[in-house]
């Protein structure tokens, strides 16, 4: 097959990481693969695959220019599948499909929704009015799929769920790496909590900082690291004001997440909304006990392998974190092994790539049937 992936950017985010991983798996399987990226990002996931960078700015003329370049590239590449991810790329791909209408070589269009929230009513309306330009819509969680169907943004007949995949080879615990990382980062003997994700409203870090302040009052031997870039104003009050400044470290953008997870004793996610967060799956693959808010597909991913609490409830979040800390080391390790088994059996990237390959093949058969 010839597969062309379209995404908004290659920026350091979960959706982007998932697309790059999937595209590279498909290339390894022998398919011809390329990517189209709508805009530039200062920090990007690396890939050796061919990438067409449109560098579109938010003006009608720039969008039209980008559509014209994309149409010409698609004509030369002749893909069987156009697979786009997140709202801007999904809508862009539908517009390109409209420009290609009537051509015998028009590819099949698959859109993927990566979050339970992709914008307001106007975006849902745009999904609705351009629906005929997509052959299939997938969501990374059942919760996201149900919401978009309920909003009438996507008809139930076109919607299916295909969850994110985790690279269990890249995320394998290593005790020697743990020891080295803790020494380098001066972690000492603290129980170390790690949160991973950009500093944006969706991650609700103010909720986490409030929870951590409560946790420290009950268990002073706890530290919190937050790995992710973004606008620190989204943290709400400064960590200094929460009485935990000496135990909270903002690490900024990091590319060594597996190393940080090895150093950590537990993983925490405080989000207000999500799709299916890769960071939780990666933490589970690294055998870390997980505490997370009940948003998007979190419960689908975690199952019985972690603690799931209501969103925006810092007291519940703190209580669950304290419960993990009060477990014996043996109990935490057993929970961690169970978490990795769950990821390996149900959410491995190898299995997900095979499912995508099957979906692509079925879509092409549907075209010729």
What is the structure's pLDDT at 366? 78
Burial class (CB in 10 A: 0-12, 13-18, 19+), 79: buried
Return the structure tokens found at 340.
């990795």
What is the structure's pLDDT at 105? 64
Name the residue with tokens 């059996």: 345
- Count of C-beta atoms within a 10 Å radius of residue 315: 12
What is the percentage of the chain residues whose pLDDT exceeds 70?
96
Q: What contacts 24+ positions apart, CB below 8 Å, involve 332-335?
A: 332/265, 332/266, 332/289, 333/287, 335/289, 335/305, 335/306
User: Does residue 289 contact residue 327 with C-beta atoms inside 8 Å?
Assistant: yes
What is the structure's pLDDT at 236? 75
185-191 average pLDDT score: 93
User: Does residue 234 contact residue 202 with C-beta atoms inside 8 Å?
Assistant: no
Instruction: Enumerate the CATH 3.40.50.2000 domain ranges in the chain, comma separated.
Output: 2-165+349-368, 175-346
* pLDDT for residue 369 is more than 50: no
Give the domain 175-346 fold.
Rossmann fold (3.40.50)
* pLDDT for residue 224 is more than 90: yes
Predicted confidence (pLDDT) per residue in 97-116, tens digit: 999 876 656 899 999 999 99
Name the residue with tokens 């062309």: 4
* pLDDT for residue 75 is more than 60: yes
Predicted confidence (pLDDT) per residue in 11-31, tens digit: 989 999 999 999 999 999 999
3-state secondary structure of 204: coil
266-285 average pLDDT score: 96
* pLDDT range class, residue 3, cuts 50, 70, 90: very high
* pLDDT for residue 189 is more than 90: yes
What is the structure's pLDDT at 243? 53
Beta bridge partners of 248: 224
* pLDDT range class, residue 245, cuts 50, 70, 90: low
**Per the CATH hierarchy, to which homologous superfamily does domain 2-165+349-368 belong?**
Glycogen Phosphorylase B; (3.40.50.2000)
Predicted confidence (pLDDT) per residue in 114-131, tens digit: 999 999 999 999 999 999
CA dist., res. 130 & res. 128, Å (int): 6
- Count of C-beta atoms within a 10 Å radius of residue 41: 14
Predicted confidence (pLDDT) per residue in 301-326, tens digit: 999 999 999 999 999 999 999 999 99
Average pLDDT over the chain, rounded to whole? 93
Helix axes 121-129, 87-100, angle to 10 degrees: 30
Predicted confidence (pLDDT) per residue in 331-345, tens digit: 999 999 999 999 999
CA dist., res. 91 & res. 281, Å (int): 28
What is the percentage of the chain residues whose pLDDT exceeds 90?
89
What is the structure's pLDDT at 240? 47
Return the structure tokens found at 324.
């993990």
Query: 70: closest CA among 108, 109, 45, 99?
Result: 99
* pLDDT for residue 178 is more than 50: yes
């Amino acid at each position: 097959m010839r597969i062309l992936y379209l995404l908004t950017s290659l920026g350091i985010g979960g959706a982007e990481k998932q697309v790059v991983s999937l595209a590279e798996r498909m290339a390894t399987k022998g398919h011809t693969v390329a990517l189209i990226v709508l805009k530039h990002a200062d920090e990007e996931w690396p890939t050796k695959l061919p990438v067409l960078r449109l560098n579109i700015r938010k003006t009608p003329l720039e969008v039209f220019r980008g559509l014209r370049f994309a149409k010409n590239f698609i004509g030369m590449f002749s893909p069987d599948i156009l697979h786009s991810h997140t709202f801007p790329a999904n809508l862009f791909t539908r517009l390109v499909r409209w420009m290609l209408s009537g051509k015998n070589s028009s590819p099949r269009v698959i859109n993927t929704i990566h979050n339970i929230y992709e914008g307001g009513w106007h975006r849902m309306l745009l999904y609705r009015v351009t629906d005929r330009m997509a052959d299939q819509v997938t969501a990374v969680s059942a919760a996201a799929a149900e919401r978009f169907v309920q909003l009438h943004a996507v008809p139930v007949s076109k919607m299916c769920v295909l969850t994110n995949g985790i690279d269990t080879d890249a995320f394998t615990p290593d005790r020697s790496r743990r020891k080295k990382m803790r020494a380098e980062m001066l972690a000492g003997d603290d129980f170390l909590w790690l949160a991973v994700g950009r500093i944006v409203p969706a991650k609700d870090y103010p909720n986490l900082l409030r929870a951590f302040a409560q946790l420290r009052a009950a268990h002073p031997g706890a530290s919190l690291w937050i790995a992710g870039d973004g606008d620190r104003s989204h943290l709400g009050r400064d960590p200094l004001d929460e009485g935990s400044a000496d135990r909270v470290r903002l690490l900024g953008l990091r590319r060594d997440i597996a190393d940080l997870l090895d150093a950590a004793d537990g993983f925490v996610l405080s989000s207000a909304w999500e799709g299916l967060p890769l960071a939780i799956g990666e933490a589970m693959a690294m055998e870390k006990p997980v505490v997370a808010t009940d948003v998007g597909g979190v419960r689908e991913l975690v199952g019985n392998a972690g603690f799931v609490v209501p969103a925006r409830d810092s007291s519940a979040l703190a209580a669950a974190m304290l419960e993990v800390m009060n477990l014996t080391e043996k109990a935490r390790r057993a929970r961690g092994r169970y978490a990795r088994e769950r990821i390996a059996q149900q959410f491995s990237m190898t299995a997900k790539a095979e499912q995508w390959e099957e979906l692509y093949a079925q879509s092409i058969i549907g075209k010729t049937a």
